[in-house]
Structure 1
Amino acid sequence: MTEKRTPDLDPGEMAAVVEEFNGFYIRLPSIQRHSFTTLSVLHTLARRSPMRLGELTATEQVTQSAITQVVTRLENDGLVERRPDPRDGRAVLVHITPAGAEVVAARYADRVARLAPILQRLSAEERSAIAAALPALRRIAELGESQNEQRGRA
């Protein structure tokens, strides 16, 4: 019996394909109109709220001044709120509000609705291949997130 070998995964090819997919995905029309950075902050907080401003600066890869402006706008819109950090009275934690979480949920639902008919245009084999790859892609995201958190503490 011959062993079925999986071809090596080329990091360059994967990066190129993921970037191409992300370029398409982040531009899917959405019912909520906010800047990319604003939406990125909301999505980060939806997964990891509460966070300090410094943590958001690191995850969003913007300046402290820029993140402060974004958080101020989001706070004025009722999408986030700042609360004192109970572990450090000098610091504040940024929390997503129910309204902010609703923006994220609505964007997710909108993207699912717009992605579904595109996925239906794929062959059954293509859809199966993507479905089979989802656990590995999720694991890559987890490993990347863990690596970023370790860098942030270093």
Structure 2
Amino acid sequence: MAVRDGMAAIGSTLDPARLTVAVERVFSVLRQGNPPNDISLTAASTIWRLQQEGPRKLTDLAAAEGVTQPAMTQLVQRLEREGLARRADDPTDRRVVLVEVTQAGIDLLQRRREVRAAHLAALLEDLSAEDEASIAAALPALERLARDRRSA
């Protein structure tokens, strides 16, 4: 790993600082395409996690999302009021309450993704074919990066 300007570079071509700035800017552009009255990033991430991983204890959700248990309790209460999640008994331990996503929560994530994808598609139209090919070639590595680190 090479060191350049105090930042570690992977190999000789990937500059983590530059990648960080690019990802942050892309994320900002994507947020501009959020649907009106969109849910928070933490709410969307929590619903996504419940959809992908199944029902979870509130304490596990808080840890996975990097928030305090009181903050997650408030978030889950909001999600319940909006019909996006619900609490359920743990079939293996009646003392434990699990949080699970509802179909309305799954549908909201799908609509949100469709709106953001349409916004991104419009932005991609301004790129050259070479830039589009470069982004397409990077997708598998980016997906692996996100998959391998999402539980960290």
Aligned residues: 142
Pick the aligned partner of 1:44 from 44, 49, 57: 49
Q: Which residue of structure 2 lines up, in the alignment, with residue 28 of structure 1? A: 33
Higher helix share: 1
- Counterpart-to-counterpart distance in 2, 1:33 and 1:11: 30
Q: Structure 2, unaligned stretches of length 5 or more? A: 1-10
- Structure 1 gap segments, 5+ residues each: 1-5, 149-154
- What is the TM-score with the length of structure 1 in the denominator? 0.83
TM-score of the two chains, using structure 2 as the length reference: 0.84
- Confirm whether residue 121 of structure 1 aligns to residue 126 of structure 2: yes
Check if 1:101 corresponds to 2:91. no
| SS state at 1:29 partner | coil
Root-mean-square deviation over aligned CA pairs: 1.8
Residue in 1 that maps onto 2:77: 72
Question: Percent identity at matched positions?
Answer: 41
CA contact (8 A) 1:31 1:106 kept: no
Q: Secondary structure at the match of 1:9?
A: coil
SS of the residue 1:34 aligns to? coil
Instruction: Report the Cα offset of residue 21 of structure 1.
Output: 1.5
Structure 1 runs (4+) greater than 3 angstroms displaced: none
Q: Select the structure that is richer in strand.
A: 2
